Amino acid sequence: MRILGIETSCDETSASVLEGSGDDVAMRSLIILSQDVHRIFGGVVPEIASRAHLTAIVPVVDRALADANIMRGELDAVAVTNAPGLVGALLVGVSYAKALAFALGVPVIGVHHMEGHLFATSLEARDAVPPFTALLVSGGHTLLLDVEAWGRYRMLGRTRDDAAGEAFDKVAKLLGLPYPGGPHIEHLAAEHEAGRFRFARPMLRRDQSPEDDDYYDVSFSGLKTAVLQAVKSADVDAERGHIARAFQDSLIDTLVAKTARAVEQFGRRRVVLGGGVAGNATLVERMRERMRELFGPDGVAVFAPGRRLATDNAAMIARAALFHLERGEASDLALNAFAAQPLPGLLSA
């Protein structure tokens, strides 16, 4: 099976060709064109994003096909992110994918962006397959899931307010760092010692139990306010790195602790990370350390995507689509784009 994936939900225009079946899938090509224009505005401007996708989509797809050494006519299906995301941006990919699939006479498959992130790591690590505990941390979402099998997901926790990546971006702005802020904060934090500032670990108390609805949920808006207070009372130019370190420590500790709770409750032996924030090496390192402390050296394996597959990319979309296609779940030409949509495959409890 040869499948073309397309991703245009936010500010990356991406296309990728995959070949394979089951969990034996090879990435033949991956093109990711990041829209740098948004840096000037300190965040993604939806109208500009759609227009940039429109300019880029044809050459990006052509390049992905050329890199894979594949002709359009050799494709068996076309996959595209159709939710969630910026509707105008999603529509560029969805319209293009439907037109191409129609012209080729092959199925089109709409993919939920977060289900794509769930599959991303498996493209690099063959063992990053279910069952596992998943932590998806991106600019728009923070989800903790128990993944029993592909297509069978238990939603354990989510953010009550800001997503993890959003918290990185907002704190970066408070500290006068460029957008997107995650990599800048990670870099600064690595160069500074902990201890000069300390922020509370949000929604993390010893007396919580699995029946509590905040046992797995996270919340980062209070942490952001704490950073704001620190910024107001300190000399930011002198303390920027220490504040970045304290913020990142608090956010990472919270994510690691909540993930460990899920591993414990469901007895999984693998943790799979996904989303842009999973590109944060400190998060991955601390996750590994904690799992080793709790479950021993061979107890729980932690898998994280490399940077290209952590951030938005079309390979993960094609990979999730392959799974659905093999189950006979293709979309049709009525496929539409949606700003929000529940993750497919959710089990009720």
How many whole angstroms separate alpha carbon 17 and alpha carbon 7? 12
Q: How far is the CB of 339 from ligand KG4 (least distance, A)?
A: 13
Q: Quick check: 115 binds ligand KG4 (CB under 6 A)? A: no
Q: What is the DSSP annotation of 72-108?
A: GGG-SEEEEEEESS-HHHHHHHHHHHHHHHHHHT--E
* 245 token code pair: 């370190």
Q: Which of 5, 279, 305, 345 binds ligand KG4 (CB under 6 A)?
A: 279
Q: Is 121 in the site for Zn ion (CB under 5 A)?
A: no
> Considering beta carbons, is residue 313 or 331 the nearer one to ligand KG4?
313
Check: CB of residue 303 under 8 Å from CB of residue 270.
Answer: yes
Are the C-beta atoms of residues 201 and 247 closer than 8 Å to each other? no
Q: Is 241 in the site for ligand KG4 (CB under 6 A)?
A: no
CB 280 within 8 A of CB 186: yes
Binding ligand KG4 (rule: CB under 6 A), the pick from 115, 162, 186, 217 is 186
Residue 93 binds ligand KG4 (CB under 6 A): no
Contact between 142 and Zn ion (CB under 5 A)?
Answer: no
Name the phi and psi angles at 331, rounded to 5: -90, -175
Tell whether residue 182 is a contact of ligand KG4 (CB under 6 A): yes
Q: How far is CA 330 from CA 50, 97, 242, in A?
A: 25, 13, 50
Q: Using the minimum distance from each CB to ligand KG4, give the nearer residue, 11 or 19.
A: 11
The answer to whether residue 138 forms part of the interface with Zn ion (CB under 5 A) is yes
168 binds, among ligand KG4, Zn ion, none (CB under 5 to 8 A by kind): ligand KG4
Q: Does 174 bind ligand KG4 (CB under 6 A)?
A: no
165 binds, among Zn ion, ligand KG4, none (CB under 5 to 8 A by kind): ligand KG4
Residue among 266, 284, 265, 264 nearest 274 (CA): 284
Residue 156 DSSP SS3:
strand
Site residues (CB under 6 A) for ligand KG4? 10, 138-140, 165-166, 168-169, 180-183, 186, 275-277, 279-280, 311-312
Site residues (CB under 5 A) for Zn ion? 138, 312
